[in-house]
Amino acid sequence: MRILIIEDNREIREYIKWGLEAEMFVVDTAEDGENGSYIARTNDYDLIILDNILPKKTGVEVCREI
């Protein structure tokens, strides 16, 4: 299973990534809405964990674009 985490808080992002990778998931990350939207639209993911309050684009804007 491939998962994308879009979260601007580095500690939260890395903690979630660490936990998911420990369960053998493949995890990609993005730290802002603009980059996260691009990554989500150019790759296939089974799950996207999306923060709402992000730099450059909100989570709602990212969700609409995806």
User: How do residues 2-53 score in pLDDT, each as one tens digit?
Assistant: 999 999 999 999 999 999 999 999 999 999 999 999 999 999 999 999 999 9
The one-character DSSP state at 18 is: H
Q: What is the pTM of this model?
A: 0.93
Q: Which of 38, 58, 47, 41 minimizes the C-alpha distance to 16? A: 47
Q: Which helix (H) or strand (E) holds 33?
A: helix 33-42
Structure tokens at 28: 């990609």
Backbone angles phi, psi at 9, to 5 degrees: -80, 110
Residue 1: pLDDT band with limits 50, 70, 90: very high
Q: For position 64, what pLDDT does the model report?
A: 96
Q: Is 27 exposed, middle or buried (0-12, 13-18, 19+ CB in 10 A)?
A: buried
